[in-house]
């Protein structure tokens, strides 16, 4: 039986009141307070200044042909890149917006950023970490011809993509061109592996990205390729879609991961900093995953490592998609680990935790199978500004500024709260749009695949629209089912499906 054939969209004008109500219910921050806005306007007019405790000024790197690659319409541009050959290897130049050049420690912008933690993205606008005057203006790496302050990472790789040398400095840079992901992909594809000359060395992005992906696989890293639910605005109407990432997005992400790993290595060696960590999958979770694979006749040889198995699963296959959802459940518990906090709490002067008498073992990010930290998105995430400042100090052999060191004590809790808020908002937005899209279709049949199931409820992925819903009771994992929509209430952000019948095949 086929599901509804009508075009499932909702008028944008009908969404605004529902999103306003969602913001009130979840206490999503609105515009920044007047004092924060005033300070942002003042520092934007003033221009960048070195943060307290920092004496090394910006080097001039405005001759470097940097480009940005971001979603269409983005203006909060944290990262710009330039790639070049270096003998048999590569040099990756990765410029990160120097937000600390505009945010005074303890000032109005800083205090408000600590209450927000991250930028929250909603379909009709963002609740920004920093005022737009900075995040989409003075501090953003816009391709408008103006020089911008940046934290410039220059990372030398060998022919296989392994990191050989790290240098990090403050620099004045100039972004030359902004690419959307699709545009960058088209340009790279048009070369088909031959030729060069793309701005920013973009023709090398596939080479470097694939090399880094191969190294990730070799060390046991995992990148889950689950389809993402996305809210799309077209011609004044919103619709839900499952979005698959382009290869260029994965390659670009590898540069950010490379930089985060380089920064984490500096922090681990120096005994000071803050790491992004993820614990290993619990044995019980892996055993559930193995039982799930067996039940769905997805082959998992006993000697095949868990990361290798997960990497070869295909989201387009219903049975393998169900196993992927189970694999995602095994990767839980991400957080932050501060290094050197014992020395800070104890008032010790040493920057190294070991010198202060507290030997700390840095924890890995198990999905990456590496030490890793966040330093590449300071316009959108609070922790990155402090991580970058510590890395700059460690890279130059000087003490980190007191304001950066002292922040390491409270950052894990602040970022945990921000992450929980962001997850609640993301889930609520999807729940709202699912109910809005489906509200006129109560009583209609839908086809779906069961991607998760236990004694109490099941998770199903509809074929159309792009909805992942919960159904009461146990359903056969990995199988196709027919569901009847019995309730869709946007005000409660609630949809209810009930099983109709199992589909053949």
Last residue of a domain, one of 435, 461, 485: 435
Helix then strand count (H, E) for the chain reads 13, 19
> Both 309 and 363 in a single domain?
no
In the numeric block, the tokens 């500096």 are attached to 266
Q: What CA–CA distances, in Å, run from 73 to 90, 318, 480? A: 30, 34, 38
- Distance separating alpha carbons of residues 431 and 19, to the nearest angstrom: 11
206, containing H or E segment: helix 205-218
**494 found inside a domain:** no
- Distance separating alpha carbons of residues 479 and 425, to the nearest angstrom: 31
**Least confident range of 37-46, 284-293, 368-377:** 284-293
- 288 in Cβ contact with 306 (< 8 Å): no
**297 found inside a domain:** yes
**473 found inside a domain:** no
Of 400 and 342, the structure prediction assigns the larger pLDDT to 400
Contacts of 478 (CB under 8 A, 6+ apart): 295, 296, 318, 319, 322, 323, 449, 450, 451
Q: Say if strands 10-11 and 148-157 run parallel, antiparallel, or are unpaired.
A: unpaired
**72 found inside a domain:** yes
**126 found inside a domain:** yes
pLDDT at 7 over 50: no
Please give the radius of gyration of the chain, using alpha carbons only, rounded to the nearest integer: 24
Of 110 and 71, the structure prediction assigns the larger pLDDT to 110
- Distance separating alpha carbons of residues 263 and 269, to the nearest angstrom: 10
**130 found inside a domain:** yes
> Both 407 and 287 in a single domain?
no
> Both 245 and 263 in a single domain?
yes
pLDDT at 94 over 90: yes
**Cis check: omega of the bond before 465, within 30 degrees of 0:** yes
Q: Which one, of 205, 165, 213, lies nearest residue 187 by Cα? A: 205
The total domain count for the chain is: 2
> Both 310 and 369 in a single domain?
no
- Distance separating alpha carbons of residues 85 and 278, to the nearest angstrom: 34
Q: Which one, of 147, 152, 149, lies nearest residue 169 by Cα? A: 152
- Average pLDDT for 351-362: 53
> Both 356 and 323 in a single domain?
no
To the nearest whole percent, how much of the chain has pLDDT over 90? 62
Phi, psi torsion values for 483, nearest 5 degrees: -120, 150
**448 found inside a domain:** no
Token pair in block for residue 287: 């055993």
- Average pLDDT for 246-256: 94
In the numeric block, the tokens 């790197």 are attached to 61
Q: Which one, of 99, 217, 105, lies nearest residue 161 by Cα? A: 217
pLDDT band with cut points at 50, 70 and 90 for residue 346: low
> Both 416 and 371 in a single domain?
yes
In the numeric block, the tokens 């004092």 are attached to 35
> Both 258 and 386 in a single domain?
yes
- Distance separating alpha carbons of residues 205 and 184, to the nearest angstrom: 10
> Both 23 and 69 in a single domain?
yes
- Distance separating alpha carbons of residues 377 and 469, to the nearest angstrom: 32
- Average pLDDT for 430-438: 87
pLDDT at 315 over 90: no
- 171 in Cβ contact with 56 (< 8 Å): no
pLDDT band with cut points at 50, 70 and 90 for residue 338: very high
Sheet of strand 163-173: strand arrangement = 59-60, 163-173, 148-157, 89-97, 79-86, 66-70, 175-180
**Least confident range of 165-179, 257-271, 475-489:** 475-489
- Distance separating alpha carbons of residues 418 and 411, to the nearest angstrom: 10
> Both 323 and 396 in a single domain?
no
> Both 296 and 340 in a single domain?
no
> Both 245 and 291 in a single domain?
no
pLDDT band with cut points at 50, 70 and 90 for residue 501: low
3-state DSSP assignment of residue 378 = coil
**446 found inside a domain:** no
pLDDT at 236 over 80: no
What is the average pLDDT score of the chain? 89
Parent domain of 317: 283-329
> Both 298 and 391 in a single domain?
no
């Amino acid at each position: 039986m086929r599901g509804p054939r009508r075009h499932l969209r909702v008028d944008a004008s009908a969404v605004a009141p529902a999103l306003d109500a969602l913001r009130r219910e979840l206490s999503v921050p609105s515009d920044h307070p007047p004092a924060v806005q005033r300070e942002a306007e003042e520092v934007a007019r003033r221009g960048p200044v070195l943060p307290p405790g920092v004496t090394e000024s910006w080097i001039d790197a405005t001759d470097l042909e940097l480009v940005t690659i971001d979603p269409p319409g983005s203006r909060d541009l944290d990262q710009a890149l330039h790639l070049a050959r270096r003998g048999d290897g590569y040099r990756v130049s990765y410029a990160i917006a120097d937000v600390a050049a505009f945010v005074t420690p303890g000032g109005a912008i800083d205090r408000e950023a600590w209450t927000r933690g991250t930028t929250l993205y909603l379909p009709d606008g963002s609740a920004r970490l920093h005022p737009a005057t900075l995040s989409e203006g003075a501090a953003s790496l816009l391709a408008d011809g103006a020089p911008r302050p940046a934290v410039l990472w220059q990372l030398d790789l060998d022919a296989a993509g392994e990191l050989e040398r790290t240098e990090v400095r403050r620099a004045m840079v100039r972004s030359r061109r902004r690419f959307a992901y699709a545009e960058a992909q088209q340009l790279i594809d048009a070369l088909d592996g031959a030729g060069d000359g793309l701005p920013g060395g973009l023709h090398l992005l596939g080479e470097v990205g694939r090399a880094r992906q191969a190294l990730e696989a070799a060390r046991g890293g995992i990148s889950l390729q689950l389809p993402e639910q996305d809210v799309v605005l077209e011609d004044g109407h919103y619709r839900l879609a499952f979005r698959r990432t382009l290869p260029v997005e994965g390659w670009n992400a590898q540069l950010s991961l490379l930089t985060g790993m380089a920064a984490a290595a500096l922090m681990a060696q120096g005994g000071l900093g803050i790491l992004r960590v993820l614990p290993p999958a619990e044995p019980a979770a892996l055993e559930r995953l193995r039982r799930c694979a067996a039940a769905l006749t997805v082959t998992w040889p006993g000697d095949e490592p868990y990361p290798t198995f997960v990497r070869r699963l295909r989201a387009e296959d219903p049975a393998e998609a169900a196993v992927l959802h189970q694999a995602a459940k095994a990767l839980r518990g991400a957080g932050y680990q501060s290094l050197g906090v014992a020395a800070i709490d104890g008032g010790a002067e040493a920057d190294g935790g070991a010198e202060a008498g507290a030997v700390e073992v840095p924890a890995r990010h198990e999905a990456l199978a590496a030490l890793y930290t966040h330093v590449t998105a300071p316009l959108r995430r609070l922790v990155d500004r402090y991580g970058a400042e510590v890395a700059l100090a460690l890279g130059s052999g000087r003490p980190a500024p007191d304001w950066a060191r002292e922040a390491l004590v409270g950052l894990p809790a602040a970022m945990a709260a921000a992450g929980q808020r962001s997850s609640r908002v993301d889930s609520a937005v999807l729940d709202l749009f699912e109910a809005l899209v489906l509200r006129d279709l109560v009583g209609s049949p839908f086809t779906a695949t069961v991607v998760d199931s236990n004694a109490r409820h099941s998770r199903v992925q509809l074929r159309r629209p792009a909805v992942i819903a919960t159904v009461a009771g146990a359903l056969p994992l990995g199988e196709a089912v027919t569901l009847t929509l019995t309730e869709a209430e946007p005000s409660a952000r609630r949809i209810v499906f009930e099983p109709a019948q199992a589909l053949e095949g």
